[in-house]
A and B are shown apart, each in its own frame.
Chain A
């Protein structure tokens, strides 16, 4: 049987970056093939060329033995190549069904499409109401739309660019069942992820890229996560260093009976949430996507302003009625879940993106004038300190790879030295080395006396990073307890909504 996909000498040059440098490898029918590499190694670029979004500058693509030119995504779909992107392209105001219909090459009557969607969802266990509006869905649910959309085409090769960044362990397990089933039916899968234990659990072969070059091929089942990470980075991996026997300071961020109204704009409102984060403490908020995390973040950041001044206090000052700018002046910075179009503006340069949140705290504005020199200097510092792969402060945010944009955004907030930092999914899409660096930066910020809230679905991350942990479920938050007191099973049960030990202080 011919190889499903064979790449020979694929090369792609961007201004100033050689994103792919003579990459060659093969994917066999029914094989689950991992594509690994640091942020900016060129993984997304490579699969975009396979899917026809970009054209290689040099090299050959063979599909089932035949040389092909994939002129555009439509041609790719025609060949039988499906793709789920790192960033979704969905219309917020439309329903799941309408979004899927828009992505189809052929016009299918909506009733027939709906029954096919339900069939795919049923076969692969992907629960989603086709008539819900995308704006009301969490990131995890949005991703399911993309997966369904790809599966509707009965692909022979399914490309998945970081599909699990936002899924819960249960959802990941479900997805793997789907993928294994597909592979057993003969569909090849090209799988990009930074979660190496997933690669071990799922993939048959791994191709490792570094700086655009293919540096290694291995069998993930024979490697450890650490050894693969070190192959990617090319050097040893660092562990989080934290001072032993730290004592927490005074309560810094106190949230008291915080509730948000149902605006219909985000998933679930928060309901009577109370918690305290002391100086030097990192509080983790675990939970399945769509349980009020977005509302919690918006309510804390000030994008959503409540009616009780004392519902949120920093060092005893009520900030519940302040907007985001005033809260930043009070020392509260926040990073929302969605990077593109929310935490950063894709069309703007990184310098301009720094102005978005750092202008007041770092004196980038004088009498209404933007000091672009200051913005540039600060952006340069973020790029250097967080090892962001970008040409410089003048690169547009949209030209960065997913993980590098994430590193930039985290750096932009952390280097402002906020006294309270609230972050959602801090290492979403970030490679193992950079994730360790971000974790270290958060730990250091806490050690310097800041209070930190980390909202995440990644239990490993929460257990490694946090001092205390609370679980959010249907907008309600369990009491926070030291992270050591939780077993994995217990967190899993709490996330699933078993309210056994749930109580509001």
Chain B
């Protein structure tokens, strides 16, 4: 029997480091083409519709913008946390709670007008996202409970909270029985920035958030802390950065940004809270963060790439009848190939032959 083992490479090259995301995307297209051909679709068409049509068809660009915006904002927060090896997997929950807090403000101020309503919603959304992320932070720092599990499980709780609120206290009185909140008043809706399109204020905000994060991560002590804790925890302690504080900061930043994305999404495209609000942006943003090499500038590019798969998935659904799940399959394949590629960049596979001696296992 042959055994295989991973052996660390002396030095992964810079080129490979930045080449893997590109290779992962290209390989996803190739494998996706083969996979969908094998199960009886036109594989080439599928890949073309999913990856190219959104780019070549100008009508789809606005869709790309509004899909990419939440991915970029959440992905930026996650890239900050993951840099410090803090694995917040529950951005979806923080995104939902942020949206619910913003909805709460919108409903309380319903019928009022004033420029201050949107900023208050944004603050509420971020604060709520932070508060929700502080639960795993507390459990991790106090009781050493793995943040991956707690943050993930809290996501499911947040979904139930939507159902409760829009069936009960926040139910639209004019909704003829539909479980949804009432439509936000004008002052609680995000303005469109390009007339005649659906592009809302959240799109430029996403780019600005990523740029600020890039600056913070590369130029400030905060960013330095995140990088050094992730790269060498022992050296971080020597340098005076406590692990507990870093975990809190990482959780609060990623939770706060997820909450902000939730607010922008509910005040922008949705304009009311509905049962279908959770669309897994929080999970997809994990792919965005890794595809963007945990670098906020990379996250902008990666956010657009993932937005392409969303938009393209819908195109392929209508044009060649590809199932809804195809988008998810492509996205998952991309993450899988990226992570596999990362391992091969840092390690190489070595074959280990069992020794010719008695009782080889």
Shortest distance between the CB of B80 and any CB in chain A (Å): 15
Q: Is the CB of B240 within 8 A of A342?
A: no
Shortest distance between the CB of A244 and any CB in chain B (Å): 37
Cα A370 to Cα B359 with chains together (Å): 59
Q: Is the CB of A106 within 8 A of B238?
A: no
Contact among B231, B239, B352 with A347 in the assembled complex (CB-CB below 8 Å):
B231
Q: Is the CB of B219 within 8 A of A343?
A: no
Cα A370 to Cα B234 with chains together (Å): 21
Q: Does B3 sit within 8 A of A, measured CB to CB?
A: yes
Q: Is the CB of B228 within 8 A of A345?
A: yes
* Binary CB contact string for chain A from 324 to 364 against chain B (1 if under 8 A, 0 otherwise): 11001000001010100111111110001001110100000
Cα A372 to Cα B237 with chains together (Å): 21
Q: Does A323 sit within 8 A of B, measured CB to CB?
A: yes
Of the listed stretches A107-115, A143-151, A163-171, A462-470, chain B binds A107-115
Q: Does B57 sit within 8 A of A, measured CB to CB?
A: no
Q: Does B10 sit within 8 A of A, measured CB to CB?
A: yes
CB-CB under 8 A for A369 and B219, given A109-B361, A325-B240: yes
Cα A112 to Cα B227 with chains together (Å): 43
Cα A356 to Cα B231 with chains together (Å): 12
Q: What B residues does A369 contact at CB under 8 A?
A: 219-221
Q: Is the CB of B355 within 8 A of A106?
A: yes
Q: What A residues does B56 contact at CB under 8 A?
A: none
Q: What B residues does A302 contact at CB under 8 A?
A: 240
Q: Does B224 sit within 8 A of A, measured CB to CB?
A: yes
Cα A324 to Cα B359 with chains together (Å): 52
Shortest distance between the CB of B355 and any CB in chain A (Å): 4
* Binary CB contact string for chain B from 323 to 361 against chain A (1 if under 8 A, 0 otherwise): 000000000000000000000000000101111010111
Q: Is the CB of B224 within 8 A of A343?
A: no
Contact among B238, B350, B352 with A107 in the assembled complex (CB-CB below 8 Å):
B352
Shortest distance between the CB of B239 and any CB in chain A (Å): 4
Q: Is the CB of B232 within 8 A of A341?
A: yes
CB-CB under 8 A for A324 and B10, given A74-B350, A109-B360, A341-B232: no
Q: Does B242 sit within 8 A of A, measured CB to CB?
A: yes
* Binary CB contact string for chain B from 206 to 232 against chain A (1 if under 8 A, 0 otherwise): 000000000000011110100110011
Q: Is the CB of A343 within 8 A of B235?
A: yes
Shortest distance between the CB of A91 and any CB in chain B (Å): 11
Shortest distance between the CB of B149 and any CB in chain A (Å): 20
Cα A355 to Cα B354 with chains together (Å): 48
Contact among A89, A108, A342, A359 with B238 in the assembled complex (CB-CB below 8 Å):
A342
Q: Is the CB of A324 within 8 A of B237?
A: yes
Shortest distance between the CB of A437 and any CB in chain B (Å): 24
Q: What B residues does A460 contact at CB under 8 A?
A: none
Q: Is the CB of B357 within 8 A of A108?
A: yes
Q: Does A500 sit within 8 A of B, measured CB to CB?
A: no
Q: What B residues does A347 contact at CB under 8 A?
A: 231-232
Q: Is the CB of A106 within 8 A of B234?
A: no
CB-CB under 8 A for A343 and B238, given A54-B10, A368-B222: yes
CB-CB under 8 A for A107 and B3, given A342-B234, A365-B221, A368-B222: yes
Q: Does A503 sit within 8 A of B, measured CB to CB?
A: no
Q: Is the CB of A303 within 8 A of B10?
A: no
Cα A342 to Cα B228 with chains together (Å): 11
CB-CB under 8 A for A107 and B239, given A345-B231, A348-B231: no
Q: What B residues does A106 contact at CB under 8 A?
A: 352-355
Q: What A residues does B239 contact at CB under 8 A?
A: 324-325, 356-357
Task: List A residues 68-93 near B (Cβ within 8 Å).
Answer: 74, 89
Cα A338 to Cα B238 with chains together (Å): 11
Contact among A107, A301, A370 with B354 in the assembled complex (CB-CB below 8 Å):
A107
Additional A-B contact list (7), CB under 8 Å, known A342-B235, A348-B231: A105-B352, A106-B352, A107-B3, A107-B354, A323-B240, A342-B238, A370-B219
Interfacial residues, chain B to chain A (CB-CB below 8 A): 3, 8, 10, 219-222, 224, 227-228, 231-232, 234-235, 237-240, 242, 350, 352-355, 357, 359-361
Interfacial residues, chain A to chain B (CB-CB below 8 A): 53-54, 74, 89, 105-109, 112, 301-303, 323-325, 328, 334, 336, 338, 341-348, 352, 355-357, 359, 365, 368-370, 372
Q: Identify 7 residue pairs between A and B in the complex whose beta-carbon atoms are under 8 Å apart, listed by A's number.
A: A323-B240, A328-B240, A338-B234, A342-B234, A342-B238, A345-B231, A348-B228
